[in-house]
Amino acid sequence: MSISNLQDAFIWLIGSKLKITPINADQYKMRPERYPYAAVRIDSITKTGSFDRLGPTDDTGNRTVISDRQATVSIDIIGEGSLEKALELMTHTDTPTVLKDLWDYFTVSILGVLNYQNLTNVLETEPEERAIIEYLAGFVYTIGENTGFIKHVELNDDVIPPL
């Protein structure tokens, strides 16, 4: 799994459960004209635990490194009824079937809600309803690693047999 897969999980969640337009907050596009909409941003990622799990090395010297991570995911909901949509999203993320779908399809688990606020009229000079939710999400991060492959070792012109 990659970090973009984590963002995809929340975009799927918002689009399928809230029926509003989800976007990547870091996209280089115009904001949607359809309101309300939600912008998903991955804020911080930390490694949980001290050790990664290493998969077996194949014949070409490649292996998979598996690491447990957690991330803060911010969701800004902008437009009429944004606070209600934020509360509705928190209700959905307490539902066992939704949590199972997030794990089965994206290998993402929601560990908790860190913060939610009604930011209407706080950040804008023109009135606009806005709410924010911050989730703590756990996910499995996998990367491929080329460890190299040693065919044989020689010492004083003698080939040392493999162990």
Coil, helix or strand at residue 94: coil
> Contact, 68 vs 48, CB < 8 A?
yes
Judge if pTM exceeds 0.85.
no
The pLDDT of residue 61 is 81
Instruction: Looking at the chain, list the stretches that DSSP marks H as alpha helix, in order from N- to C-terminal side.
Output: 3-13, 82-92, 96-106
Domain of 139? 3-147
Predicted pLDDT at 136: 95
- 162, part of any domain: no
Q: Which of 114, 90, 122, 110 minimizes the C-alpha distance to 17?
A: 90
In a domain, 77, yes or no: yes
Structural domain includes residue 154: no
Is residue 58 domain-resident?
yes
**Which positions ≥6 away from 139 have C-beta within 8 Å?**
1, 5, 6, 9, 68, 69, 70, 71, 106, 107, 108, 109
Number of domains into which the chain is organized: 1
Bridge partners of 10? none
Residue 155 domain flag: no
Residue whose entry in the numeric block shows the structure tokens 């012109």: 157
**Does the pLDDT value for residue 149 go beyond 70?**
no
> In this predicted model, what pLDDT tens digit does every residue of 62-105 receive, in sequence order?
888 888 899 999 999 998 899 999 999 999 998 999 999 999 99
Domain assignment present for 36: yes
Could you tell me if residue 131 is inside a domain?
Answer: yes
Whether residue 153 is contained in a domain is answered as no
pLDDT tens-place string over residues 15-57:
999 999 999 887 767 777 778 999 999 999 998 877 888 888 8
We report the CATH number of the domain holding residue 46 as: 3.30.2000.30
